[in-house]
Structure 1
Amino acid sequence: MDHWLTTIPPLAVYLIAGLAVGIESLGVPIPGETILVAAAILSSRHEVSVSPHGIAIAAVLGAVIGDSIGYTIGRRYGHRLFAYLERRFPHHFSHDLVDYAEHVFERWGMAAVFVGRFIALLRIFAGPLSGSLKMHYPRFLLANATGAICWAGGTTYLVYYVGTAAEDYLKNFSYVALGVAVVLGLLGSTILRRKLERNVKLFAEERARHEAQAQQSTD
């Protein structure tokens, strides 16, 4: 296994990490964060010449460029894009989720773009939804870039240093150490995802209650 790892071209790892993050940022629900974590873990292996700096740079560029393209698409096609995504990816998009994301982005603006980078379900909405809501692009770009640097750079270096430390202390159990690094790298995003799902449910229930009350008042 170790010999096979040494044959992986570092450039291929950087490109895969950057493309995965970029495609996810476009609004396509692929596991960009998982791929980023895997690349960062790979860079923590001493026998592999993959640099965490290269991964961080590629991921940041992928996030910024992908979100910017998503912003342009969302600004042009608006809610028609989300209607298509609901039909195309029904397990990842729903009417309730889109409405909740729109509510969050309308209320919090740049802060939603920044924080959304750390939450998988909001991460795929940031670019297209900001464009659809006609957010001023320089403000979007600032929030997008700072969020990408903190998320992509932070995730890369956190997983890298955890993986390196684990490998140093558990030399005879290096694959166990890699598994530990994966769990730590994904635990935070999983907690945030669960919280978001609960918020979407509560938001949908509250919206349905208001609609029922409005309907009763008109009858």
Structure 2
Amino acid sequence: MLPVSSPDTTPATAPGDTRRVPVLEAAGIEKTYRRGIWPARHHQLVLRGVELTLYPGEVVGLVGENGSGKSTLMKILVGALAPDAGTVIHNGRLGYCPQEPVVYERLTCDEHFELFGRAYRLTPEDQARSRRELYAELGFERYAGTRADQLSGGTLAKLNLGLALLADPEVLLLDEPYAGFDWDTYLKFWQLVATRRDAGRTVLIISHFVADEERFDCLVQLRDGRAVPR
């Protein structure tokens, strides 16, 4: 999980219309990768003018086959990867949970929260309060003093998600967030998502398949490099 800063942009809500003012807009996103080595090098066009708009209080699923460009698009949305063309505008703070956890092996869970809290410019009190709540909600407080390299895959996934949620971002971007979760944690995850939606937060979830379609407000599929309603 990487801390993502918030730009100085217009507010995500407007008087009398708090639902239809976008919190994130992606327009004309294109990305091509160069594959192989010369003279057999070729270009692979992954994203072909993707359009995506997210509104407050939505839970949106982004689905597609492996290699369809889902993770590439997510990295572009959070600014971790530059597009070849197109623009991304967002209002408010982003929280990003990558598919592969970005953690420091020798730091404990507590130390990760402290480090990321400083990156988000949280006060020590706010960081501690949010950390306690996330430990309780995700059920891994007993690992607070455990180093990352000693965590199981499921607990590491909880830490990865907890770091994305630490600063209570207006837009939460999750790439395959529940891989490795047991059933109890899976249910806790969806309770967290529902709570965030009720609070007017926006959640974008990437997955190669969706089992519980009723939990989403809408589904978008990446197909042939474009985002289309499903």
**Structure number with higher strand proportion:** 2
Higher relative contact order (CA 8 A, sep 6+): 2
Structure-1-length-normalised TM-score: 0.28
TM-score normalised over the length of structure 2: 0.27
The structure number with the bigger radius of gyration is 1
